[in-house]
Structure 1
Amino acid sequence: MSAVLIQDVELRYGRHQIYQNFHFELKRGQIGAIYGPSRTGKSSVLLLASGHLLPAKGKVLVDGAKPDHKRTGLGPIHDLSPLFDTLSVEEHLLFQAQLHHVRQAKARVQELLQEYDLEIVRRSRVKDVAHLEQFRVGLATAVVHRPDLVLIDEPERGLTNDEWELAYQDLRNLAESGSTVMLTTVLRQVAERCDVVAVLPEGEVWEP
Structure 2
Amino acid sequence: MDAIIKNFPNGMNDDADSKVERPTEDEAKAAVEVLLRWIGEDPAREGLLDTPKRVAKAYQELFSGYGHSVEEILGRTFEEVSGYDELVLVKDIPFYSHCEHHMVPVMGKAHVGYLPAGRVVGLSKIARVVDVFGKRLQTQEALTAQIAEAIDSTLKPRGVAVMIEAEHMCMVMRGVQKIGSTTLTSTFTGLFKTQPQEQARFMSMLRGRD
Classify the TM-score, shorter chain: under 0.3
Structure number having the greater helix percentage: 2
Name the structure with the higher strand share.
Answer: 1
TM-score (norm 1): 0.26
TM-score normalised over the length of structure 2: 0.26
For the pair shown, the structure with the greater C-alpha radius of gyration is: 2
